[in-house]
Amino acid sequence: MTHTADGPGSAAPPTPHRPPERIDLPDGYLLLRRTPEHAGEMNAVIIRNLAHLRPWMSWATGAPTMEHSTEATRRGWQLWEAGSDFLYVLEHADRPGTVLGMFGLHRRVGPRAIEIGYWIDQEHTGRSLATNGAAALTEAALRLPDVDRVEIHVDAANTPSGRVPRRLGYRLDRVAQRPAEAPAETDRKEIWVQEQPACR
């Protein structure tokens, strides 16, 4: 899992360029733009996964209230409209409204670049959902006319999440020294990059 979305959004300047609000994935799964209507299911999936998230997510310190989740979805909607952050829920077409994870595209890594964040419900790990979702978001991001580079940031100790950029052909650009923010994190953050072919 990588950092996405329940905390404050980025301060990147607004842009009119946005990815699709729905992205179909293999095996009947899909990414949908996160809306205020997802607040209840988002709250439930976070509470259900607190032990799974707490080692790697600095915001997963306790069970969110419904008020917090409602405000988070409202703020996420505003960030999408502003063009700075694009937050998605993972669902299966056979179970609409049931959130199985979250993904995001975040304009917080510099000009002409975007970062992917993701996490999957613990009961649904091991099904390539993070890989498939990140692959689809990489493709969508590189179609944006103002994006040349997509990044995935993974703590060096988070081996399962680190497999995702490797599988997708990202290259390890650097290992940055950053203070740990969550209990299992080290101070070493791997920065994985995929670029438009013309930018390589």
Q: Bridge-partner residues for 30, per DSSP? A: 24, 91
Mean pLDDT of 19-40: 97
> Which tens digit of pLDDT belongs to each residue from 72-87?
999 999 999 999 999 9
Q: Does some domain include residue 4?
A: no
Q: Does some domain include residue 10?
A: no
**pLDDT at position 134, please?**
98
Beta strand 85-92 pairing with 149-155: unpaired
- The CATH number that applies at residue 190 is 3.40.630.30
Q: Does some domain include residue 11?
A: no
Number of structural domains the chain divides into: 1
Q: Does some domain include residue 189?
A: yes
Longest CA–CA separation in the chain, Å: 46
> Which tens digit of pLDDT belongs to each residue from 77-122?
999 999 999 999 999 999 999 999 999 999 999 999 999 999 999 9
Q: Does some domain include residue 7?
A: no
- Provide the percentage of residues in the chain whose pLDDT is more than 70: 90
Mean pLDDT of 51-60: 94
Residue 168 has a CB neighbour count (10 Å cut-off) of 18
Query: Tokens for 68?
Result: 């917090």
Q: Does some domain include residue 12?
A: no
Q: Does some domain include residue 14?
A: no
pLDDT value at 50 more than 70: yes
Task: Find the domain containing 114 and state its range.
Answer: 22-199
The pTM assigned to this predicted structure is 0.89
> Which tens digit of pLDDT belongs to each residue from 137-162?
999 999 999 999 999 999 999 999 99
Q: Does some domain include residue 185?
A: yes
**pLDDT at position 4, please?**
62
